[in-house]
Amino acid sequence: MSKIAFYATIKPPDHPIASGDRLIARNLIAALKIAGYDVELASRFIAYSKREAKEILLQRKADAHGEAKAIIERLKPSPPDLWITYHPYCKAPDWIGPIVSAALGIPYVTIEAARTGQGFEDGGDRWVHWRQEAQTGIRKADLHLAFKPTDQAFLTELLGTHEHIAMIAPFIDTTPPEHLPDVQFPNHWRPGVPKMIATGMMRPGKKVKNFQLIADALLRLQALHWNLLIIGGGPEEETVRAMFEPLDQQRIEFTGIVPHEEVLAYMRRGDLFVWPGWKEPIGMVYLEAQLMGLPVAALDSMGVSLSVHHGKTGLLAAEDDRQGFADNLATLLSHPSLRRDFGQAAMRSVTVSHSLPAAANSLRAKLDPLMKNGAGRRHSQ
């Protein structure tokens, strides 16, 4: 059985704070194990920084080099066959993977190596030194696996070739939950009125913008029958609640933050998932909602269309088309049969194309040849 050393730069997959990147890292490990690999979490070192100060960069880099040295000593007696680093980018460069891979003579692979637009708010690039560090490490990989076309384009530009870049579809664990809690919608909501589900952390920036887009759309649709359940919380909760105050409060319910199983239970009992996904990198929540049988109303922004298929599992409006988003919502609210057809197609799509077994087959097809060829192009130069 081939051995893989796995490392996530932002936070380890067993970190106590839940997040989208932690979920993807966990799912990657699960898919790699299904593919037949022996996966070891090589390091819990956190490269991520919220601040771009030069002294933080230098300290992180020095600590990472110390971590790499310790890993080499630990793995040298029985080295893995491959190293994978998940999600290196400007705020979380990978200083460890390239060093360890070179020392052990094994292929080095990145998954979701990315370039973000963060740091350019004032016209400059506050993260320029971190970005340079991240790109130095990215250039040393033998293979890059990308979820999004935008990441593929970034890597092609950075490397000057697309030869060592491959795409994989986003995926989730589609195993049916053993038990979902019994959740209740408000008693005053009339039976037969479509129940929309929206869920997201209420943080500054794009998350708040997405809630605003929902509120703006529903202001245009007050003549239609609908109810909306909003799941989530965070530092901007008061701001988000204020966005929906112009609407009939009898039609809107806030749950606050609830356990993941309750989110799925609400989705299972809902009729429509609404989340614009403005500047959404991948949007794993769309896969979860569709697995629960919900059609989706969203924007065709960044990575949304990787999970939601327009005209088949939901309706997508152009990223800057607010009226189109509202019109799509109106269509789905007004046509129960369309919601049902999209919902059934959504469940099939996630199960067939976005499951752990599907990801395992894709990963095995891309990683096995690399391991058979030894350390690949970087170590043969």
Q: What is the pLDDT of residues 14-35, one digit of tens each?
A: 999 888 899 899 999 999 999 9
Strand pairing class (272-274; 195-199): parallel
> Per-residue pLDDT for 80 more than 80?
yes
What pLDDT score was predicted for residue 348? 97
Mean pLDDT of the region 56-68: 98
Look at residue 377 and tell me whether its pLDDT is greater than 80: no
195-353 has the same fold as 3-171+355-380: yes
Alpha-carbon distance 63 to 19, whole Å?
A: 24
pLDDT in tens, 260-319: 999 999 999 999 999 999 988 888 899 999 999 999 999 999 889 999 999 999 999 999
- Domain 195-353 of CATH type 3.40.50.2000: yes
**Contacts with 58 (C-beta within 8 Å, 6 or more apart), sequence order:** none
- Sign, CA dihedral 200-204-206-208, equals positive
Per-residue confidence at 380, pLDDT binned at 50, 70, 90? very low
Residue 248, number of CB atoms within 10 A of its CB: 11
Q: What is the pLDDT of residues 96-128, one digit of tens each?
A: 999 999 999 999 999 999 987 666 656 678 899
More confident residue, 281 or 58: 58
Contact 308, 325 (CB under 8 A): no
Q: Which residue, chain included where needed, has tokens 């959504």?
A: 346
Name the β-bridge partners of 197: 229, 273
**Alpha carbon separation from 240 to 123, 234, 251, 260, 353 (Å, rounded):** 29, 10, 16, 21, 34
- Which own/partner contact pairs does 65-74 have at CB distance under 8 Å and 24+ positions apart? 65/95, 65/99, 67/43, 67/96, 68/95, 68/96, 68/99, 68/100, 68/103, 71/5, 71/42, 71/43, 71/96, 71/100, 72/99, 72/100, 72/103, 72/104
Domain 3-171+355-380 has CATH 3.40.50.2000: yes
For the chain, the structural domain boundaries read: 3-171+355-380, 195-353
The tokens for 180 are 């979902």
pLDDT in tens, 319-362: 999 999 999 999 999 999 999 999 999 999 999 999 999 999 99
Residue 186 has pLDDT above 50, yes or no: yes
335-351 in b/e form (b: 16+ CB < 10 A) is eeeebeebbebbbebbe
User: d(Cα 143, Cα 133) in Å, to the nearest integer?
Assistant: 18
